[in-house]
Amino acid sequence: MAKNKKNPLRAELSRLLRKHPRTATMELLLPDILGILRGKRIRRPSFEKTCDEGFSFCAGTTLMSSLGEVLPGMIGDGDGDPDIPCYLVPGSLAPIPWVKRPTLQALFRMYDVTGEPFFGDSRAVLERAIEPLGKMGLSVVMATELEFYLLDANASMPTQKSSEVPGLGRPQPGPQVYIPDDLWDIESFMNDLYDACEAQGIPADTATSEYAPAQFEINLVHVDDPVLACDHAVLLKRAIKAIAKKHGFVACFMAKPFAEDSGNGLHIHMSLVDRNGKNYFSHGRDKLASPPFSARLQHAVGGLLKTMPEATAIFAPNANSYRRLQPEYFAPVDLNWGVNHRAVAIRIPQSDAGNLRFEHRPAGADANPYLVTAAIAAGVHHGLKNKIDPGRMVEEGEKVTLKTRIPDRWDAAIDKFERGKVLPHYLGKRFCHYYALNRRGESRQFHNTITEVDFDWYLRVV
pLDDT of residue 292: 62
Last residue of a domain, one of 69, 95, 118: 118
53 domain residue, yes or no = yes
Residues 108 and 219 both lie in one domain: no
Beta strands in 49-185 (DSSP E): 55-58, 83-88, 94-95, 103-110, 139-152
pLDDT tens sequence for the chain (462 residues): 444 457 899 999 999 999 999 999 999 999 999 999 999 999 999 999 999 999 999 999 999 999 999 999 999 888 888 999 999 999 999 999 999 999 999 999 999 989 999 999 999 999 999 999 999 999 999 999 999 999 999 988 888 888 888 878 788 887 888 888 889 899 999 999 999 999 999 999 999 989 899 999 999 999 999 999 999 999 999 999 999 999 999 999 999 999 989 999 999 999 999 999 999 998 765 544 345 678 899 999 999 999 999 999 999 999 999 999 987 777 888 999 998 888 899 999 888 888 899 999 999 999 999 999 999 999 999 999 999 999 998 888 888 877 788 999 999 999 999 999 999 999 999 999 999 999 999 999 999 999 999 999 999 999
The answer to whether residues 165 and 97 belong to one domain is no
Give the three-state DSSP class for 204.
Answer: strand
Distance (Å, rounded) from C-alpha 61 to C-alpha 193? 29
* Domain CATH code at residue 27: 3.10.20.70
Do 261 and 215 lie in one domain? The reply is yes
Asked if the structure places residue 168 within a domain, the reply is yes
The last residue of one of the domains, among 61, 94, 118, is 118
Within this chain, do residues 57 and 134 fall inside the same structural domain, yes or no? Answer: no
Long-range pairs, 22-25, Cβ under 8 A, ≥24: 22/101, 22/102, 23/95, 23/102, 23/103, 23/104, 24/101, 24/102, 24/103, 25/101, 25/103, 25/104
Residue 436 maps to a domain = no
Q: Are residues 100 and 134 in the same domain?
A: no
On whether both 167 and 275 belong to a single domain, the answer is yes
CA 194, 200, 201 angle in degrees (round to 5)?
Answer: 85
Closest alpha carbon to 101 in 6, 174, 24, 167: 24
For residue 442, is it within any domain? no
Residue 205 CA to residue 269 CA, distance in Å, equals 14
Looking at the structure, do residues 204 and 252 belong to the same domain, yes or no?
A: yes
Q: Which of 180, 241, 230, 185 is nearest to 203 (CA)?
A: 230
- Mark residue 81 as left, alpha or beta (left: phi above 0; alpha: psi -120 to 50; beta: remaining): left
Written as one string, the DSSP assignment of 320-358 is THHHH--GGGT---SS-EEES-TTSSEEE-S--GGG--E
Number of domains, the chain: 2
238 and 90, same domain (yes or no): no
d(C-alpha 401, C-alpha 180), whole Å = 32
Is beta strand 139-152 parallel, antiparallel or unpaired with respect to 249-252?
A: antiparallel
Question: 118, 149, 172 — which closes off a domain?
Answer: 118
* CA distances, 137 to each of 125, 130, 133, 355 (Å): 20, 11, 7, 18
Task: Supply the pLDDT for residue 290.
Answer: 45
Name residues whose C-beta falls within 8 Å of residue 258's C-beta, 6 or more positions apart in sequence.
Answer: 149, 158, 160, 212
Give which of 338, 326, 370, 155 is closest to 250, Cα–Cα: 155
By C-alpha distance, which of 240, 339, 333, 236 is closest to 297? 339
pLDDT at site 289: 36
* Domain membership flag for residue 302: yes
Residue 454 resides in a domain = no
The C-alpha atoms of residue 16 and residue 105 are separated, in whole angstroms, by: 11
Is there a domain that residue 457 lies in? no
Residue 257: which residues within 8 A CB-CB, separation 6 or more? 149, 151, 158, 263, 264, 320
Q: Same structural domain for residues 96 and 229?
A: no
**DSSP three-state, residue 202:** coil
Q: Are residues 114 and 134 in the same domain?
A: no
Domain around 377: 129-427
Residue 308: predicted pLDDT? 97
Q: Measuring CA to CA, which residue among 179, 187, 184 is closest to residue 209?
A: 179
Same domain (yes/no): 257, 357: yes
Residue 449 falls within a domain, yes or no? Answer: no
